Amino acid sequence: MSLRATGKLLLSASGTRAELDRLMEGADFLHAYSTAERKRQRQYAAGTFGALAERYRTSKGFLSLAERTRDDYAKVLLFLDRCADYSVEMIETADVVEMRDIAAAEKGEKFSDFVIAVMSNVFRDAMEAGLMKSNPAKGVRRLYKASDDANRRWSEKEYQTAYSLAPTHLRPVLAIAKHCGLRGQDIAALTWENYRTDPDMGKVLAFIPKKNGKKVGQITIGVPAALRSLLDAMKVGDGTVQPATNAPICRNSLGKAYPSENAMRQVWQQMKLSEEFKDALPDSADLTLHGLRVTFGSELRESGFSDREVADMLGDMSEGMGRRYSRGAEMRKTSVRVFKKLAK
């Protein structure tokens, strides 16, 4: 498959439909498509929203976003192409509200929140460059309210049943999320270099999270016995050749690294659609991988750890915390204390 407007080869003739779907959902495809469309139709004039949006699309802030966020924002930028000719000098808060409401009507309230966020980022980038004096998206009300049951906590029975039904390649994904509370984007990126020996906790997962990584630094989480036995068995490899240090811990059914968090999440969604899963867990169709992170945090809180300690374990960042530059050391102290208490 090649993009008609550019002739660029995007997928070989032997590519599958699933690969095509993943490709067309990715930020690279969306960017290539929108670029081709702009070249075919028009160039953005200076002083227009389109010119600012194009500037933001190539900015360090946009390119440094997590892959999933960049994908979401790329879709929003395509949506906002309809207001590309708006004069920057004439844009007011009312215009942002109008785009929010159009997005909510056409694509839902959750998407409309992304519209506000992206427009705000575009304007902020322009302000830093001296192209705007204020941010008309600042203070615009969000419409989407997540359900209280979204990413809900898993019961122990649900986890054990799902784990037993899961294909071998999906089990480490579930186990790492359950026992260490990692985000999906970090699980997909883990390599064997991140699985290390530690003098206080035996084995740990040590990594820099994709979200807030520059602020929280490296996170070190003790690996409990149930997860350690699984990872140690995987680390042995075929008994002769062990996985390389830079090899991914979690792989898809073909033994390859997951190309994205979305691809990993799709495997879980496909499993939930199986008749075997539906028969065993008929009331669990709403389970999510992120819900295992919620489960991890909930269990820590019930074990007596403070909200601050739970946040440390999850790699969360809180404004006004006052410990931004010592979080690495503080997080390790928390991790050792949590590991030893749970081990008892």
What DSSP designation does 242 have?
P
Alpha-carbon gap, residue 322 to 31, rounded angstroms: 39
CATH superfamily of 156-343: Intergrase catalytic core (1.10.443.10)
The beta strand positions in the chain, using DSSP E, are 195-198, 202-207, 219-222
Question: What pLDDT is attached to residue 25?
Answer: 66
Q: Report whether 71 contacts 111 (CB < 8 A).
A: no
**Residue reference for tokens 């984007």:** 185
Question: What pLDDT is attached to residue 302?
Answer: 82
What averages of pLDDT result for each successive group of 10 residues across the chain (344 residues)?
Answer: 48 63 65 56 82 93 85 92 90 92 91 94 94 92 74 92 95 96 92 95 92 82 94 86 91 89 90 95 92 89 82 65 41 78 80
List Cβ neighbours of 65 (8 Å cut-off, separation of 6 or more).
Answer: 73
Boundaries of every domain in the chain? 42-128, 156-343
Question: What pLDDT is attached to residue 318?
Answer: 54
SS (H, E, C) 94-137: HHHHHHHHHHHHHHCHHHHHHHHHHHHHHHHHHHHCCCCCCCCC
Q: Which architecture, in CATH terms, is 42-128?
A: Orthogonal Bundle (1.10)
Is the pTM above the cut of 0.75?
no
Tens-place pLDDT, residues 51-96: 999 999 999 989 988 777 888 899 999 999 999 999 988 899 999 9
Tens-place pLDDT, residues 123-153: 999 999 999 999 999 999 998 876 656 788 8
Question: What pLDDT is attached to residue 326?
Answer: 36
Alpha-carbon gap, residue 337 to 231, rounded angstroms: 22
> Are 42-128 and 156-343 equal in CATH topology?
no
